[in-house]
Structure 1
Amino acid sequence: MNEFYPEIEPYQHFLMDVDSQHQIYVEQCGNPQGQPVVFLHGGPGGGCSTNDRRFFDPEKYRIILFDQRGCGRSKPHGCLENNETHFLVSDIDAIRKKLGIAKWHVFGGSWGSTLALVYAQTYPEQVKSLVLRGIYLGRSQDTDWSFSGGGATRLCPDYWQQYLAAFPKNMDLSNYSVQMAYDIMTGDDKALALKVAKAWSIWEIRCCTLIPNQAFVDAATGDQQAWTLARHEAHFMVNNCFLSENQILANTDKIKDIPMTIVHGRYDIVCPFDNAWQLHQKLPHSSLIISEASGHASIEPNTKHHLINATKAMLSVA
C-alpha cells in the first residue's frame, strides 16, 4: 500500500496579485527541474495542507500549490467579491505563465476536480495529464445531494440534524435551502454566521470518511477554516458554481485526448460515485479507478494508494 512521500518544505513561496483586490498564495516544492504539476484544492474555500505536497515524488516533480481566492494564506481572507469559477481558472493559468511553464500536469480533488476539468476545457493545450479525485460536477443536483435535503442527508440524518440545530430556533427549516444558510453566513450577525459556518463544515467533513475520523474533522473545522470553507461553498452553490447547467459533461470533447485518471471512493457521501461514472462514460479513454472501502477524503488508505499510483504513472506521459 502506497504511503505519502516524506514531508517537504517549499523552496519558494510568494503572494501573487491577480487583480486590484486579491492576492493568492503560491508555493513550489520538490525538484525545480522536475515535471511541473499543479495541485488544485477542494472546497471551494478549503486551502492547501502540508499533506497535499506528499502525493508527488519530490525528486521527480516540480510541485506547485496555491490557495484559491480568499482562503488559506491568500488575501483578503474570506473575500467573496470577484470570486467566481472563471476568475479561479484565469488565476491557474496566470500562475503557469508567471512560473514560465509551457505545459503541466493537473491534480484536483472534489471542487479541485471541478476546477481542473473547467481549466482543462478552457486551456487544453496547456495540460499534459489529469489526475482527479472525488468528482464534483457543479450541477444543481450535486448541491441538492449534499446540502438541500438530498441523498447525503438520508444517509447521515443524525449529522444533518446537528447541522440544522445551529440555526435560530424561530426559523422555519421545513423548506431549508442553501440560500438560507448563505444569507446568515454573509449577514451582519457575525457570531451567528460563524456558528452556522462551523456547523456546515462539521456536517460536510464528518461525511468525508467512510470510517468516522474525529481527528480529521477537528483539523479541518477550526474557525478560520470553517469561515472560508462554508461561506465559499455556499457562495458558489447559490450561483450554480458560476457554470451553465451540465457544462462540464457537455464539453468533454475538448479534453478527450488528455490522459486522465479518475479515482473515486465507492461509498463517497459528499460526491456520489455516479459523478465519476458519468464523466468516465463521456471520456471512455480515461482510466476510472474505484477506491473500495473509501468515502470522499484523499487521506483514506485505498484512495491515497491509488492517487500516488496515478502520480507515478503520469510521469511517463510525454
Structure 2
Amino acid sequence: MPKDELTFHKVASPAPKAGLAGVWSAPQVVLDSGGNLAVWAEQGLAQPLANRARQFPWLVLHGGPGGSLGASHVAPIRYAGLPWFGFDQRNSGLSEDLDLSVIDLQRFVDDALEVADRLNIPKFHILGGSWGGTLALAIAAYRPEQVASVVLRAPFLPMRPRVDAFFELLERLAPDYFAEHFGPGARTDFVCECFEVATPEHLLELSVAWNKLETALLTGKAGGFDSKRPFLSDVQELALVRKYRLQAHFLRHDCFLSPQDLLSLFSKISQSPWPMSIIQGMNDRVCPPGGSKLLSEIVVRSSLIELPGTGHLPDSAEMIKAISQEVSRHHLLV
C-alpha cells in the first residue's frame, strides 16, 4: 500500500481505561502489511511531516512476545509530553494473525521499520520493555542510522540458560501443578514443544497453566494452583492461546538469535553512537537484574538505573517516573 493510502479509521472506541497509566482506546491506524497491524500515534504524528514539530518521536514496543500495546507502556512518554507511535506485533493484540511459519525476529524488525516509514518517520527514539527490549536492540542493530536513542526497561536477553532458569522458577512456585501440565523438570524445549503438538483443548489448558504460573511470578502472590479452569470468555481464551503459542514459538527458537547472532548484535550495539539507558527493577523475577547489568557492561556508554523494591511490570509509579526522566533526558540530548 502506498504511503498516501494510510487510513485513519474513525471507529467507536471501547470504554477507555483510566488509571495511573492514563487512557487507552482504539488504534488510529490499521496498516495493511501482508496482514493488518494495529497502530497508535500521538502528539501530532498524524499530521504531514512538514507540519510536525522538529523532534524525533518515540517508537514504543510492547513485551511478550504475544503482549499488546497499552497505556502503561506509553505513560512515561505521555507524562513527558513527547510524540510517540507504536503497534501491536504480529499475532498480538488487535493485529492480524499469520501462520507461525512466517513469523520470526526479522519479520518483527521489518514491521517496525515499515510502520515508521508509512508514518513518514525517518528517525526515532526507541522505548522497549522486556521482550520489547530485545526487539528494540534488534531494530537498533539493523538500522542504527535511523535510531536517535534507546531506553530499555528490564530487557530480556534470549540466552537459553536464562530461559531455562525462568521455567525452573515457575516449577518452584508449584511443583505438582507444573508437573501436571508440563512434566517434572520440563524446560524450554519440552514446554515449547507441547504447544506445537497440542490439540486445541490442550492448548488452552497449557496456556492457562503458563499464565497462572507467570502471573504468580510477576506479582509474588502464589496460590490457587488447582486443576479447576477459571471461567474465561471466548475472547479471553483466544487471547491466552495466541499469546503463549507465539511466546513458545519464539522461545523454542531462542528468539531467532543464535549465540553467534547475539554476540554480533551486542557488538553492533556497543559500537553505535547513540545514547542508551537501561532501567531495571531489582525485584524483577521474570527478567532478573543480571541481564541489565551484563548489557550495561557490554555497552559501556549506557546508563544503568536500578530501582530497589520494583518488579517487572511497567505500571508502577517508580518505573513510570524513572522512564519518563530518561526519555526526557534523551530528547534533550539529540
Instruction: Confirm or deny that 1:27 pairs with 2:43.
Output: no
The alpha-carbon deviation at position 175 of structure 1 amounts to 4.6
Q: Which of 153, 162, 179 is matched with 2:177 structurally? A: 162
Q: Deviations over 1:145-193 (max 9, x none)?
A: 212x2xx24xx723454344335xxxxx245233333333333521111
Q: In terms of Rg, which structure is larger? A: 2
Q: Which of 51, 59, 65 is matched with 1:38 structurally? A: 59
The equivalent of 1:73 in structure 2 is 94
The equivalent of 1:170 in structure 2 is none
Distance in 2 of aligned mates of 1:80 and 1:40: 20
The number of residue pairs the alignment matches comes to 298
Distance in 2 of aligned mates of 1:83 and 1:145: 25
Aligned counterparts, 1:171-210, within 5 A: 173-187=183-197, 189-209=199-219
Is the Cα contact below 8 Å between 1:118 and 1:248 reproduced in 2?
A: no
RMSD between aligned alpha carbons? Answer: 2.8
SS in 2 for 1:135: coil
Is the Cα contact below 8 Å between 2:72 and 2:314 reproduced in 1?
A: no
Q: Which of 278, 285, 309 is matched with 2:301 structurally? A: 285
The alpha-carbon deviation at position 138 of structure 1 amounts to 0.9
Is the Cα contact below 8 Å between 1:207 and 1:269 reproduced in 2?
A: yes
Distance in 2 of aligned mates of 1:289 and 1:213: 32
Q: Which of 82, 85, 96 is matched with 1:64 structurally? A: 85
Q: Which runs of 5+ in 2 are unaligned?
A: 1-18, 46-51, 225-230
Instruction: Confirm or deny that 1:47 pairs with 2:68.
Output: yes
Q: Deviations over 1:74-127 (max 9, x none)?
A: 1127x4231100110111111111111111010000000000001100000001
Where is the helix percentage greater, Structure 1 or Structure 2?
Answer: 2
The equivalent of 2:289 in structure 1 is 273
Is the Cα contact below 8 Å between 1:128 and 1:317 reproduced in 2?
A: no
Q: Return 242-251 or 122-131, whichever deviates more.
A: 242-251
Is the Cα contact below 8 Å between 2:21 and 2:71 reproduced in 1?
A: no
Distance in 2 of aligned mates of 1:120 and 1:99: 18
Distance in 2 of aligned mates of 1:191 and 1:84: 26
Distance in 1 of aligned mates of 2:317 and 2:219: 11
Normalization by structure 2: what TM-score?
0.80
Q: Which of 119, 133, 143 is matched with 2:139 structurally? A: 119
SS in 2 for 1:207: helix
Q: Return 121-130 or 201-210, whichever deviates more.
A: 201-210
Instruction: Confirm or deny that 1:310 pairs with 2:326.
Output: yes
SS in 2 for 1:262: strand
The equivalent of 1:142 in structure 2 is 162
Q: Which runs of 5+ in 1 are unaligned?
A: 168-172
SS in 1 for 2:245: helix
Aligned counterparts, 1:65-104, within 5 A: 65-76=86-97, 79-104=99-124
